[in-house]
Amino acid sequence: MNHLFDVYSLFDVVPVLAKGTRIWDDNGQEYLDCYGGHAVISVGHCHPEYVAAVKAQLDKIGFYSNSVQNPLQKELAEKLCELSGLNDYFLFLVNSGAEANENALKLASFHTGKDRVVAFHGAFHGRTSGAVAVTDNPKIVAPFNSHHNVTFVDLNDAEAVECELSKGDVAAVIIEGIQGVGGIKIPNDQFMRDLRELTKKHGVVLILDEVQSGCGRTGKYFAHQWAGITPDLITMAKGLANGIPIGGVLISPEFKATKGMLGTTFGGNYIAMAGAIAVAEIIKEENLMANAKAVGDYILENIPDSPKIKDVRGRGMMVGIEFNCPIADIRKALLYEKHIFTGVAGNNMLRLLAPLVLTKADVDIFINALKELL
């Protein structure tokens, strides 16, 4: 009997080995990974420096609680501030994207003393209580989660945002750097700048959810940096430690920390820190943000024209190929016939969230496979 709670639709593949952009299953079949385990694998599978750092940490000390000094946390905070250019920000460490968003929402509410949040249609911020309340998907909101004070407005509609903020009771606006689950929707740069102005004007906290679009994926450390704005709180997770559970909130110096206001048992643990520090170093040393952008542009330029394809959009290693028809069969054929992992958004979009080390030669393999299937 299978005792696992049956909530996932599973492909019939058992990965047992991986290296860079390649995965092998239990029959020795090789696959190209254009999905990165849902944007998690940033520096490539089993990167040797990353593996060595995590193994070495386990040999030294695997865990202690947040009641003692942990220099690895300070080192990671310094590296993330340097990579993002947010030199005077502070870091709070957690274990997942949803938890990062929970804590950002809580901080915004502490900071302003208010409890209403403005979020966007199509948004996905996670499945825990507050995070799911600001997610635009009634299917995953249980009655228990539905009591939060949230208003959804359209992406890129600055007037609608201003209308809500001018009511005076809003603690935060939360927005993804690029909507991922919602279908690779890039908020336009001017809208992001308007949002920054409006939130400042009304004393509302601007939370940027970079859980999927951050960690260098779009060619800048955070996707919102393409619009040249600086949010108050930035949440991150997926690509941060290449597969070890981790999340973080980068916090502007205007926020005041009081002892005990936030906390977690596992957040900031030694193994995740060793992994995340190694990832930050590899991203810098191997110039992976530039690679992500260049190879992402190459994907956008080379998707074939086809009556079946409606639109192609994205930035760096975050690309959506929107079809005029459901893509479940194409995705299955890519996996079972062409041995390529891809993701989806909704019914009609193939979503590519490849490791940042993807090469143009890898893209050629994907493009040729797609052409054959089309």
Ligand X SMILES: Cc1ncc(COP(=O)(O)O)c(C=O)c1O
Which range in 120-128, 140-148, 253-261, 283-291 contacts ligand X by CB under 6 A?
120-128
Residue closer to ligand X (CB basis): 107 or 181: 181
Q: Which among 49-57, 96-104, 270-278, 329-337 is the span making contact with ligand X, rule CB under 6 A?
A: 96-104
Nearest distance in Å: CB 203, ligand X: 25
Which residues are 120's β-sheet partners? 153
Residues with Cβ < 8 Å from 297, sequence gap 6 or more? none
Q: Which of residues 235-254 bind ligand X (CB under 6 A)?
A: 237
Rounded distance between C-alpha atoms, residue 317 and residue 212, angstroms: 10
Contacting ligand X (CB under 6 A), which of 84, 96, 269, 348? 96
Per rule CB under 6 A, is residue 176 in the interface with ligand X? yes
In the complex with ligand X, which residue's Cβ is closer, 176 or 194? 176
Q: Which of 124, 226, 255, 341 binds ligand X (CB under 6 A)?
A: 124
The 126-165 contact track toward ligand X, x by CB under 6 A, reads x---------------------------------------
Instruction: Please report whether residue 225 would count as binding ligand X according to CB under 6 A.
Output: no
Helix (H) or strand (E) run with residue 205 in it: strand 205-209
Cα dist. 140→129, 131, 133, 144 in Å?
10, 11, 9, 11
Q: In this chain, which of 45, 111, 116, 125 binds ligand X, going by CB under 6 A?
A: 125
Cα 300 to chain centroid, rounded: 20
Q: Work out which of 97, 239, 248, 267 binds ligand X, going by CB under 6 A.
A: 97
> Could you tell me which stretch among 9-17, 209-217, 295-303, 351-359 binds ligand X (CB under 6 A)?
209-217
Residue (42 or 212) nearer to ligand X, CB: 212
In a 13 Å sphere around the CA of 240, the CA atoms on its Cβ side amount to 32
- Please state at what angle helix 270-285 crosses helix 71-84, rounded to 10 degrees: 30
Angle between helices 270-285 and 288-302 (to 10 degrees): 70
Pick the binder of ligand X from 32, 161, 172, 211 (CB under 6 A). Answer: 211
Say whether residue 181 binds ligand X (CB under 6 A): yes
Q: Which is nearer to ligand X, 178 or 357 (CB)?
A: 178
216-252: b (≥16 Cβ within 10 Å) or e: bbbbbbbbbbbbebbbbbbbbbbbbbbbbbbbbbbbb
180 touches ligand X by CB under 6 A: yes
Taking the C-alpha atoms of residue 127 and residue 142, their distance in angstroms, rounded to an integer, is: 10
In order, the DSSP letters of 284-351 are: HHTTHHHHHHHHHHHHHHHSPP-TTEEEEEEETTEEEEEESS--HHHHHHHHHTS-EE-EEETTTEEE
187 binds ligand X per the rule CB under 6 A: no
Token duo for residue 117: 């949040």
- Output the smallest distance, CB 193 to ligand X, in A: 21
Shortest CB 123 distance to ligand X, Å: 8
Residues near ligand X (CB under 6 A) are 96-98, 101, 124-126, 176, 180-181, 209, 211-212, 237
